[in-house]
Amino acid sequence: MFTTKCFIKKNKIGNFLKHVREHYIRDDISCGIPSCDDCNAEASSHLNEVHLNKCSLFKFEHFIILDTNVILDQMDVLEEPIICNVIILHTVYKEVKHRSLPIYKRLNAVLENPSRHFYIFVNDHHKDTFLPEDKNELINDHNDRCIRKATSWYMGHVPKRHFVLITDDAKNRQLALADNIPTCTITDYVKHLENNSILQDKLSRKDFHSEKEAKDIFPPHLSTAALLKGIKEGVLHQGTFRASKDNFLEGFVSVDGFTEPVLLQGRDGLNRSVDGDIVAVEVFKMENWVSPSEIVLEDEGVSEESIEDVEQKEQALKNTTVQEAEIKPTGRVVGIIRRKWKQYCGIIQGNSEGLYQIFVPANRSIPKVRIETRQAEFLKTQKLIVTIDSWPRSSRYPHGHFVRALGRIGSQDTENEVVLLEHDVPHSQFSEEVLSCLPKLPWIITEEDEKRRVDLRSIDICSVDPPGCTDIDDALHCRLIEEGKLEVGVHIADVSHFIRPGTAIDLEAASRATTVYLVGTRIDMVPGLLSSNLCSLRGGEDRFAFSCIWEMDLQANILSTRFHKSIIKSKSAMTYEEAQLTIDDQTKTDAIAESLRNLNKLAKILKKRRLENGALVLASTEVKILMDSETMEPLDVELKKMYQTNSMVEEFMLLANISVAQKILQEFPDCAMLRRHPTPPASNFDPLVKAGRHLGFDIQVDCGRNLADSLDRAVKPENPYLNTMLRMLATRCMLQAVYFPSGTLQKEDFYHYGLAVPLYTHFTSPIRRYADIIVHRLLAVICGSDSTYPDLLDKQKSSELCQNLNYRNRMAQYAGRASVAFNTHLFFKGKLNDEEGYILYVRKNALQILIPKYGLECTLYLVKKNETTLFEYDEEHQTQRAGDVVFHTFDPVTIRLQLDSSNIQHEKFSVLLVQPAIPGFSVPALSKDDEQVNDAEPVKKGKKRKNIAAKSPKKSKS
Amino acid sequence: MSRNRELISKIGLRLDGRRPDELRRIRCKMGVFSQPDGSAYIEQGLTKVLAAVYGPHQVRSRQKAQHDACIINTQFSMAVFSTNERKKRPRGDRKSTEMSMHLQQALLSVIETDLYPWSQIDVYVEVLHADGGIYPACVNAATLAVIDAGIPIKEYVCACTASLGNNEVPMLDVSHQEEILGGPTLTVAALPMSGKIVLMEMSQRFHLDHLPKVLNKALEGCKDVKAILDEAVKNHVSEIGSATGWANTTS
């Protein structure tokens, strides 16, 4: 059935080793073409002889065979459904996997789509198309030879069909023509297709302007060999390039051997590097080192050709005085080791006509990109995605191509889309396959279910959630079972009953990891039928739950704990406010009210005990944006209100999580999904300790307990907000809490610092977090109501899963914040307000100000360019003084806020000082009349304003 | 890690081009030496093993001698050049000792030991090239060598490995490359005709759901190996037989 051939490989693992691997050559590999009689028709072949490709370049209908370079460079074109019936050779497939994993994944997605008619032909194991490597033959040449061989085999094998080889490699094309193989480049191919205008935009071009002799405006890059040699000899340094956000002609590279990042300045210094690239830099001699310029330079270039304005700006950059103290190692980029080009969101800079347009990315550290498009008029109104293809020496901007349009600029949907894309949140519709896993409606509880679950429908259970919440995943009850003994139950939606391991819905949920909440929308982790209906513990309906039930005495000591699956019927779904009113209203004495009162009493004891153990109370500014339901515009921004009931629910959720964590660790010491919050290194607390010291408080950070105590002591009666601010600072010193499988760490590292508990997990929100589903499954195994499956117990798999969960959670958090920030901006559009704020940090040239009302942070610049400053900076005490006025950290100020909309890409707040008044700097307070919509105010023109325009705050960067 | 886990590609082929249920190529030869009473050479893919059998002969050390059965002495060794990195010592380390014991266990189950009281059979196996599945190759080689020595056995004892590719598909006869990249490996030595398992070893834990299918796959593998060995023995016997004119009388 098969013969073998061995081939020898030389691999380098530390030292040279000879590897010998088998390579079997088979005679049972199908060509995949349905009408072929010689091969067994293979089920996996999607090739179709009805929709053959037509291209006016060739007179016949044909199948396409692709070269590796076409797939690597032109994936955007291949994803278009116009191109179908493509044969991917295994040689090519392997090379794509080896060269670029993201492209490989995208290729797989196309391959799996039956309507695209793609097929993998395993040419390297086929008896007729296998070619042994020749001596002294480069791998590339061998691959090309294999591709040609396979193509000519196909032509001989199925003579009545035609095949076209598409390759961008001129040599390969030449050799193919010599073998009578029809071939062309992808560009020619696309140009001769019908309806090609969209496709042509998506073509990636490496050879722009090769016909025109343009002046080179960048120095050349060194060859790879020269770079490697230079790095080895220590002449050159390798590092990741980070562009400056404020100055497009400046950037930094962190390299080994220098404690400070190396500064790069000017066009020659940056030499076509893009933020994130791994570059090789040459560091200048010490006497040529300069300091980073403080000036803000924006790239105002409008067209490809003119570079005069850049030259002017470079001049300006050189003229900035060198500050001796600030001198940094300086160098220039001599070559790029690896490009880290991604897809970028942005808009078209709408002032040029014709085929070529300049694309302005939303991320300011990315340069503008030149793209070729035939739909410029349409795209000018859109947010779009563009990738970079190349950056030739003669071009001022990198060349790229259009990938797709997201929607109209400024619309809520488009902005949400941008936020989701920038944070890599999977947000496509659920696929048919996923939806087919859902239970059929009407959903009924069978007798079988009733037998396997404890029936708790008679117990008075209620849920307490924020208003408008549709995914209710927790409910509570509390009842007196005997004198001095309470039964407290936490009932969590039984999502794991509906999401079975290994199904499409499970894989989708695992990859999404969490529900993402944006202002006005929610990106569900599981389809809506589950999240807001079958799993949601709605009032008055029978629902499946996973119950955690304690018996407690009146001092909230746990006497016993048990877990089981149950059927519950929530008596009422309340909001925090309603629950609070029920508790406070002494006239209400029904079961629910009594139960809530008892719960509240217990929660207070639990909380007190927790705080005594050293749990931290941290503060953050969480705001809620009230939306107009029709126009979807923000009406008001307000801080979230907190009731006693919030903390009541929280306490019991914490208790349930802790109890479950103990249980699953006990039963699964190797693979329990836990959550830990690492103790931050002491240096993280420096800003907090410093701020405390300036205010006369001694903040102890050696352990959580002391930190909590010293935060409690830091109160000043005249500034009630001070304590909250300190707590906010403390929050920022913390590390992120993460999920992990218990087998991967030492027991001491399981500690949750913020909550001050040795073990913690997430059990209580399975509708919106995937980690909870895993915990539910583990717990279900322990209760005997479910069985294990391999991946649940695999330490490696769990660890990979945790990594994804942690990443997605972090991104979801950032996305939520970005969405709030955008909507806050929207809210301020066209408003001119005086707001009260507090100084969060005192900087050398600015004050960082927090406006608690909106949870907004902004920067008030004190130093104006080219002007002498009124302020004196005291580094030791962290103060700024102007005449009699001294700014300390946490001092209250009043500022005037306005949104500067002159640049739709980067709307930013302009901030002016109102109180305390400093002559020559502050502005008078607005009278009541002024606080109207005031669009006429030309913000940009005022000379003073321009300089103190602040960056938009809270822009979270992925 | 996960990217390397793809042991079976989309098209259903393994890294070396086999399908999941295919063995590697087996080539074997009996009677490769003339000094020992029986010898055999086997290649399973790139794994190459030599086996030699001496005996039955008088017991060397009197203490071990048994009055009702012969003792089987096995020695496993790996040539220093058999692995990618040169080995320090060819035998006597923990792994080799373990291998020897396992080999002895497999052979004890088939050799009719009670026919040779007060005697001893020595089985020496030498791995010339290790490329995964060393133990199965040794068992198979030893079986052939014992047959070549003319020692009566109950039936063939064959061994095979099986593993789990992509965490769901059982695959047979794993190579060294797959051993490194993949999950747990199950080694089974069995009597394929009666279906008895002589020895079973897992390199890591299997999930209970997977074990039966992997085990079945490994047993199937043992049967396939048996068929190949049987063929080789028949060829060998007819070759020798035709030299003495014996083959003509039977046909």
pLDDT in tens, A602-620: 999 999 988 888 888 776 6
If you average pLDDT over residues A40-69, what whole number do you get?
78
Cα distance from B209 to chain A (closest Cα, Å)?
7
User: pLDDT per residue over A629-643, tens digit each?
Assistant: 666 666 677 667 778
Which residues on B lie below 8 Å from A20 (Cβ)?
Answer: 46, 131
- Looking at the structure, tell me whether residues A162 and A262 fall in a common domain: no
A629-632: which pairs have CB atoms within 8 A and are 24 or more residues apart?
A632/A412, A632/A520
A872-874 vs A879-882, strand pairing mode: antiparallel
Contact at CB, A790 and B177, closer than 8 angstroms: no
Residue A533 lies in a domain: yes
Q: Which of A139, A99, A138, A92 is nearest to A119 (CA)?
A: A92
If you average pLDDT over residues A578-595, what whole number do you get?
87
Q: What is the pLDDT of residue A941?
A: 35
Which residue among A202, A237, A261 closes a domain? A202
Q: What is the CATH number of the domain that holds A222?
A: 2.40.50.690
Whether the predicted pLDDT of B248 surpasses 70: no
CA A86 to chain centre: 33
Q: What is the pLDDT of residue A1?
A: 47
- Looking at the structure, tell me whether residues A380 and A449 fall in a common domain: no
Mutate to test the interface with A, among B3, B8, B10, B11 (most CBs of A within 10 A): B11
Task: Work out how many CB contacts closer than 8 A connect A with B.
Answer: 66
Contact at CB, A25 and B46, closer than 8 angstroms: no
**Residue corresponding to tokens 């160098």:** A331
If you average pLDDT over residues B179-187, what whole number do you get?
85
Whether the predicted pLDDT of A119 surpasses 80: yes
Q: CB of A870 within 8 A of CB of A860?
A: no
Q: What is the pLDDT of residue B73?
A: 94
Residue A797 lies in a domain: no
Spatial strand order in the sheet of A856-861: A856-861, A846-851, A832-842, A892-900, A908-915
Whether the predicted pLDDT of B43 surpasses 90: yes
User: pLDDT per residue over A132-173, tens digit each?
Assistant: 878 788 888 889 999 999 999 988 888 888 888 998 888 888
Which residues on A lie below 8 Å from B46 (Cβ)?
Answer: 6, 20-22
Residue A264 lies in a domain: yes
Which residues are CB-contacts of B10 (< 8 A; sequence separation ≥ 6)?
A44, A108, A111, A120
Q: CB of A499 within 8 A of CB of A780?
A: no
Q: What is the CATH number of the domain that holds A377?
A: 2.40.50.700
Contact at CB, B11 and A120, closer than 8 angstroms: yes
Question: Within an 8 Å CB–CB cutoff, is residue A90 touching chain B?
Answer: yes
Question: What is the pLDDT confidence band of residue A868, given thresholds at 50, 70 and 90?
Answer: low
Q: How far is CA A761 from CA A71, A739, A774, A821, in A?
A: 44, 8, 11, 30
Q: What is the pLDDT of residue B144?
A: 96
Q: Which of A4, A788, A797 sits opposite B25 (nearest CB)?
A: A4
- B141 vs A209: CA distance, rounded Å: 68
- Looking at the structure, tell me whether residues A83 and A132 fall in a common domain: yes
Cα distance from A111 to chain B (closest Cα, Å)?
10
User: pLDDT per residue over B195-225, tens digit each?
Assistant: 899 999 998 878 888 899 999 999 999 999 9
User: pLDDT per residue over A2-27, tens digit each?
Assistant: 555 555 665 555 667 777 788 888 88
Question: What is the pLDDT confidence band of residue B116, given thresholds at 50, 70 and 90?
Answer: very high
- Looking at the structure, tell me whether residues A457 and A588 fall in a common domain: yes
Domain count within chain A: 6
Whether the predicted pLDDT of B36 surpasses 90: yes
Q: Which of A235, A550, A221 is nearest to A390 (CA)?
A: A221
A297: which DSSP letter? B
Residue A645 lies in a domain: yes
Q: Does A392 sit behind a cis peptide bond, omega within 30 degrees of 0 on the bond before it?
A: no
Cα distance from B11 to chain A (closest Cα, Å)?
7
Structural domain of A704: 681-734
Which residues on B lie below 8 Å from A120 (Cβ)?
Answer: 10-11
User: pLDDT per residue over A800-850, tens digit each?
Assistant: 899 999 999 998 988 888 888 888 777 777 777 788 888 877 777 777 888
Q: What is the pLDDT of residue A27?
A: 82
Which residues on B lie below 8 Å from A4 (Cβ)?
Answer: 24-25, 45
Whether the predicted pLDDT of A770 surpasses 90: yes
Q: What is the pLDDT of residue A428?
A: 81
User: pLDDT per residue over A516-568, tens digit each?
Assistant: 988 878 888 988 888 888 888 888 888 899 999 999 988 888 999 999 999 99
Q: What is the pLDDT of residue A950?
A: 34
Q: What is the pLDDT of residue A936?
A: 39
Q: Which residue from B minimizes the CA distance to A3?
A: B25
The CATH code belonging to domain B19-241 is 3.30.230.70
Cα distance from A117 to chain B (closest Cα, Å)?
15
Q: Which of A125, A789, A791 sits opposite B17 (nearest CB)?
A: A125
Q: What is the pLDDT of residue A937?
A: 38
Whether the predicted pLDDT of A777 surpasses 70: yes
User: pLDDT per residue over B117-165, tens digit each?
Assistant: 999 999 999 999 999 999 999 999 999 999 999 999 999 999 999 998 8
- Looking at the structure, tell me whether residues A506 and A487 fall in a common domain: yes
Q: Which of A19, A122, A800 sits opposite B13 (nearest CB)?
A: A122
Please give the full DSSP string across A579-623, using - where no structure is assigned: HHHHHH-TT--SHHHHHHHHHHHHHHHHHHHHHHTT--------E
Q: What ipTM did this prediction achieve?
A: 0.88
- Looking at the structure, tell me whether residues A8 and A156 fall in a common domain: yes
Q: Which of A4, A19, A44 sits opposite B84 (nearest CB)?
A: A19
Q: Which residue from B minimizes the CA distance to A124?
A: B17
Contact at CB, A90 and B18, closer than 8 angstroms: no
Question: What is the pLDDT confidence band of residue B249, given thresholds at 50, 70 and 90?
Answer: low
Q: What is the pLDDT of residue A633?
A: 67
Q: What is the pLDDT of residue A211?
A: 44
A431: which DSSP letter? P
- A781 vs A554: CA distance, rounded Å: 32
Q: What is the pLDDT of residue A634?
A: 67
Higher pLDDT, A78 or A216: A78
Task: Assign 3-class secondary structure to A5-74.
Answer: EEEEEEEEECEEEEEEEEEEEECCCCCCCCCCCCCCCCCCCCCCCCCCECCCCCCCCEEEEECHHHHHHC
Q: Which of A17, A22, A791 sits opposite B84 (nearest CB)?
A: A17
- Looking at the structure, tell me whether residues A482 and A405 fall in a common domain: no
- Looking at the structure, tell me whether residues A388 and A447 fall in a common domain: no
Q: CB of A530 within 8 A of CB of A498?
A: yes
**Among the ranges given (A24-38, A745-759, B76-90), the one the predictor scored with the smallest mean pLDDT:** A24-38
Whether the predicted pLDDT of A934 surpasses 50: no
Whether the predicted pLDDT of A302 surpasses 60: no
Residue A291 lies in a domain: yes
Question: What is the pLDDT confidence band of residue A948, given thresholds at 50, 70 and 90?
Answer: very low
Residue A334 lies in a domain: yes
- A655 vs A661: CA distance, rounded Å: 10
User: pLDDT per residue over A233-262, tens digit each?
Assistant: 888 888 888 887 777 788 888 887 777 788
Question: Within an 8 Å CB–CB cutoff, is residue A223 touching chain B?
Answer: no
- Looking at the structure, tell me whether residues A604 and A459 fall in a common domain: yes
Higher pLDDT, A49 or B202: B202
Q: What is the pLDDT of residue A392?
A: 82
Q: CB of A566 within 8 A of CB of A454?
A: yes
If you average pLDDT over residues A782-805, what whole number do you get?
85
Residue A87 lies in a domain: yes
Whether the predicted pLDDT of A945 surpasses 90: no
Whether the predicted pLDDT of A621 surpasses 70: no
Question: Within an 8 Å CB–CB cutoff, is residue A4 touching chain B?
Answer: yes
Q: Which of A22, A125, A788 sits opposite B175 (nearest CB)?
A: A22
- Looking at the structure, tell me whether residues A367 and A232 fall in a common domain: no
CA A946 to chain centre: 32
Neighbours of A629 (CB within 10 A): 8
Contact at CB, A23 and B85, closer than 8 angstroms: no
User: pLDDT per residue over B47-59, tens digit each?
Assistant: 999 999 998 998 8
Q: CB of B168 within 8 A of CB of B145?
A: no
Bridge partners of A351, per DSSP, are none
- Looking at the structure, tell me whether residues A252 and A348 fall in a common domain: no
CA dihedral A217, A222, A224, A228 (to 10 degrees): -140
- Looking at the structure, tell me whether residues A8 and A135 fall in a common domain: yes
Residue A76 lies in a domain: yes
- A507 vs A797: CA distance, rounded Å: 13
Which residues on A lie below 8 Å from B15 (Cβ)?
Answer: 21
